[in-house]
Chains A and B, each alone.
Chain A
Amino acid sequence: MTDTLTPVLTDNWDEDRAWTLAAYERRGGYEALKQAVRIDPDDLIALVKDSGLRGRGGAGFPTGMKWSFIPQDNPQPKYLVVNADESEPGTCKDIPLMMASPHTLVEGVIIASRAIRAEKAFIYVRGEVLHVVRRLRAAVREAYDAGYLGEDILGSGTRLDIVVHAGAGAYICGEETALLDSLEGRRGQPRLRPPFPAVAGLYASPTVINNVESIASVPAIVRGGVEWFGSMGSEKSKGFTIYSLSGHVRRPGQYEAPLGITLRELLDLGGGMREGSELKFWTPGGSSTPILTAEHLDVPLDYEGVSAVGSMLGTKALQVFDQTTSVIRAVLRWTEFYKHESCGKCTPCREGTWWMVQILRRLDKGEGQPGDIELLQDLCSNILGRSFCALGDGATSPITSAIEYFREEFEAAMTTPSWELFPPAASTLFAKEGVAS
């Protein structure tokens, strides 16, 4: 049995000046790269494949397999693009990782680029995180100075350049093909597939797109190996991962554990729900994953476990809400987000999210009309599976799941405003402090 928490990615975050090269190397940083430059690229791909590492950006696709799709006989340059757009509501793991230890990501990028034989890599980071952009740029600069980037890395004959690219505010740019369009200097709108990025991605060249945490996990896998990685996690969801706990819990934050830990265990570690509060609903992996309730406290938080109860592990963004929270208000706000972020390319999502907001607004005001619940469900079924990209699908998740578990609250919304049933002041972080003092 492994320990309940297994810090690997977070292990050096409490180091003095952890973001610097010196601090990173003090903790064994770039040792994995030194090993990796002596490993044949195909063997690196096999290693990551065999480790069972699955994408940490939401979909859980096997990372090594994705790398193996890059056609190596294609004469075009190959690219690695790191998805550091982290904008899915609730998701907050990649940003602290890059803030505290940007070199973990940079080392992962260098190894992954060697594996897929890319000589140019991009880190597409959302623009709204100034200090993280600073830390990334400085880490890349330090890595060049140390000979980990540029020509002939550590005498291996391979070369790599990394460009840190700041986005400009658009959730949809986290969708990998929209991200590519954005990185090409266009409006960020999803592309039709095929062709898939592995064949025709950035500049129509073979491209791997991976999440920050996926790539940052690679150095540890190189050092620890397949069995080490597999000694953590569950059978089909191997390894360690960062769970992000937020909301009405006493100690919100980042908890790195083997895949398969439960919310009950995490809440326990997090000091339980805040005083006088009990769990009402939660998201397992961001707002696009159907909400769950207290009956799901013991669901193993791995890909299989969460999908078995009709949701998704997603980004492991555990947003926890207590009994003071109006589910209508929560769902309305998420839906407003999807409406705002819908790129407008396809009709079901563009129009559907707009209509859903209208209906939820009147429900929030206690002015729901007979048939509104069915109308919402009908809209959702017209969006789900009919949109051009997964943003549209995700927009339906909070609504359908909320109706499933809290139908009576939607019914109450025919007559009573959410703020009367659930006065917002009671939900705030400062509510308790205010009462106590």
Chain B
Amino acid sequence: MTPVTVKGVNPADVKDVARAQTDENRPWWVRTYIPAILGGMGVTMRHLIANLRNRRNTATIEYPEVKREYSPRFRGRHYLKKRPSGDPRCVACYMCATACPADCIFIVAGEHPDPAIEKYPVEFVIDGLRCIYCGYCVDACPEDAIAMTRDYEMAGYHREDFIWDKDYLLNWRDRVEREDGYQPYEGEIDKERMSRGRL
């Protein structure tokens, strides 16, 4: 094997350079670490003073008053979409429940009175505590019936508060305003990329 050479560096010197950088070859006052410690304390003091002067550089987001801007693809609490008639778009095909890795979607299918629509969900429940917010259900849905919002403020006093039934999933956005989050992909599908496992 030929030695790897870096332009301008004589391979014979490399050892010396490496040795020169070990502790033993630094001057004694560097080796006390005191200059380095004082330098570090200078850095922290500079930050302290700058942050006392103004809050321009502080990373804190003062939460309830100020909220973080999330991406439009944020995967927050789900909602079920409606048809113009107000019925759910869902046809109870179980695709989302099948795709769900957390196994937290429970559907009971029923016959729809409209013969054009084959089935509809009599019950549609998502367990918000088991859900991992992966968005697979959104991707799986052939009817564009389930989507996600940018809602991350999910707190409750009881576990039952997180069992979201059909009525809740259809209507909760009427009560609280939340921006759209992760939505089904609507562009062209690149077969090539898909074969590599990407949409």
A binds B: no
Q: Which residues of B approach A to under 8 Å, CB–CB?
A: none
Q: Which residues of A approach B to under 8 Å, CB–CB?
A: none
